[in-house]
């Protein structure tokens, strides 16, 4: 079963799709988790190192996917290691996408309830977003990518403007001393920074949807480079504006940074409200990436029609999102999801690549 020939992505669309799969709730919570892990102001170094490690790992995914034109990992895994084992690995990947989709939707609901619509029942916030995303999925990946192209520049603009205006409270001393405790804390922070990039597994099916799969490496570098820069800048600005101690005590440090100052003369003197409204759209894009990934996997693995699968997944994703009882439970789910994503990477693309190299090399020697 091949992908639809009329549902292809340009290189730019592929980059934005990948960016939206990485750029979501991490902007709101990542500074706290990274600072806690490092315990020093050098958390920004961990972000850079972790990002480059993930880019190298993602390159393996791209190169493997390019060996199977028009096929996703749900389709070509069986050709490498056999259908039974591939079915199990792909099923784990689908469950992972469902859980992370529920996590992203729950974070969206929590932020909305706390800052924008206090007292609103959680289900009233979650259900409309799931319904809209499910309807969007019926148009295929190209329709999704076109929406992402509209929302992403707006999100990027609002984020950059917010950070530029927050520079009025930025203090360079909050980022000092540089490597005061050596490299060990930076290495300790790597585990948290790598988890921020959970979701890069979408690469294993994105390449199959590209109009020019030979440009997949270029799309991957751009798609990872944008979130890497934004996460790096976020950590710098948040720590510099709030101090390391304040960041560690904050649930939503990025939002608290924007709440800590006012800009007189602008239509919005408090920036957290326009920022949150726009970032809700970005979280919706992030959620849709994983929702689509799960529905695509089930449809290709079980030979069901994808639009039927997407509607059938709605209650499952809803349950996944509302299961954590407290906000600390939500953050715990996010941490577990990150670890599972890394484990799945070592269970799927690396072994598949090794087996494929051994088989192709053996065939060449036999010939």
User: CB–CB of 137/289 below 8 Å?
Assistant: no
Residue 139 counted as domain residue = yes
Instruction: Residue 209: give the domain boundaries.
Output: 11-366
The total domain count for the chain is 1
Residue 3 counted as domain residue = no
Indicate the pTM of the whole model.
0.88
Would you state the pLDDT for residue 361? 63
As given in the structure block, the two tokens for residue 108 are 């969206």
Question: What length is written for the chain?
Answer: 367
Could you tell me the CATH number of the domain that includes residue 117? Answer: 1.20.1740.10
Mean pLDDT of 109-115: 85
Would you state the pLDDT for residue 318? 93
Instruction: Read off the pLDDT band of 346 (50, 70, 90).
Output: confident
Residue 6 has pLDDT above 60, yes or no: no
Question: Which of residues 342 and 165 earns the better pLDDT score?
Answer: 165
Residue 5 counted as domain residue = no
Residue 159's closest CA among 255, 286, 241? 255
Instruction: Read off the pLDDT band of 198 (50, 70, 90).
Output: confident
Would you state the pLDDT for residue 362? 55
Residue 155 counted as domain residue = yes
| Phi, then psi, of 210 in degrees rounded to 5 | -85, 140
Please write down the HEC assignment for all residues of the chain. CCCCCCCCECHHHHHHHHHHHHCCCHHHHHHHHHHHHHCCCCHHHHHHHHHHHHHHHHHHHHHHHCCCCCCCHHHHHHHHHCHHHHHHHHHHHHHHHHHHHHHHHHHHHHHHHHHHCCCCCHHHHHHHHHHHHHHHHCCHHHHHHHHHHHHHHHHHHHHHHHHHHHHHHCCHHHHCCCCCCCCHHHHHHHHHHHHHCCCHHHHHHHHHHECCHHHHHHHHHHHHHHHHHHHHHHHHHHHHHHCHHHHHHCCCHHHHHHHCCCCCCCCCCCCHHHHHHHHHHHHHHHHHHHHHHHHHHHHHHHCCCHHHHHHHCHHHHHHHHHCCCCHHHHHHHHHHHHHHHHHHHHHCHHHHHHHHHHHHHHHHHHC
- In sign, the C-alpha dihedral spanning 352, 354, 360, 366 is negative
- In sign, the C-alpha dihedral spanning 94, 96, 99, 101 is negative
Residue 354 counted as domain residue = yes
Would you state the pLDDT for residue 137? 92
Residue 101 counted as domain residue = yes
Residue 6 counted as domain residue = no
Would you state the pLDDT for residue 3? 43
* Cα 301–Cα 303–Cα 308 angle in degrees, nearest 5: 105
User: CB–CB of 289/199 below 8 Å?
Assistant: yes
Residue 1 counted as domain residue = no
């Amino acid at each position: 079963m091949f992908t639809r020939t009329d549902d292809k992505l340009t290189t730019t669309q592929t980059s934005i799709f990948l960016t939206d799969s990485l750029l979501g709730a991490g902007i709101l919570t990542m500074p706290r988790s990274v600072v806690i892990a490092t315990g020093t102001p050098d958390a920004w170094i961990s972000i850079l190192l972790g990002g480059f490690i993930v880019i190298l790992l993602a390159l393996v995914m791209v190169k493997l996917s390019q060996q199977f034109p028009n096929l996703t990992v749900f389709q070509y895994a069986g050709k490498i290691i056999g259908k039974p084992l591939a079915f199990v690995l792909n099923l784990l990947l689908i469950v992972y996408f469902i859980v992370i989709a529920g996590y992203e939707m729950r974070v969206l609901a929590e932020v909305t309830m706390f800052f924008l619509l206090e007292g609103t029942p959680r289900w009233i916030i979650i259900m409309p977003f799931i319904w809209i995303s499910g309807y969007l999925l019926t148009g295929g990946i190209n329709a999704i990518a076109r929406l992402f192209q509209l929302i992403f520049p707006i999100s990027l603009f609002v984020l950059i403007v917010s950070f530029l205006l927050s520079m009025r409270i930025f203090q360079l001393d909050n980022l000092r001393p540089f490597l005061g405790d050596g490299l060990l804390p930076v290495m300790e922070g790597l585990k948290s920074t790598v988890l921020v990039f959970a979701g890069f597994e979408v690469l294993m099916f994105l390449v199959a949807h590209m109009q020019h799969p030979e440009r997949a490496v270029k799309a991957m570098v751009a798609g990872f480079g944008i979130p890497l820069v934004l996460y790096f800048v976020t950590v710098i600005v948040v720590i510099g504006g709030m101090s390391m101690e304040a960041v560690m005590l904050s649930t939503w440090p990025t939002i608290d940074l924007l709440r800590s100052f006012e800009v007189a003369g602008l239509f919005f003197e408090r920036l957290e409200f326009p920022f949150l409204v726009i970032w809700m759209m970005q979280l919706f894009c992030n959620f849709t990436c994983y929702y689509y990934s799960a529905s695509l996997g089930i449809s290709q693995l079980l030979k069901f029609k994808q639009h039927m699968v997407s509607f059938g997944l709605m209650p499952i994703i809803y349950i996944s999102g509302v299961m954590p009882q407290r906000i600390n439970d939500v953050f715990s789910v996010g941490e577990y999801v990150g670890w599972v994503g890394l484990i799945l990477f070592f269970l799927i693309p690396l072994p598949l690549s090794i087996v494929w190299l051994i088989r192709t090399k053996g065939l060449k020697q036999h010939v």
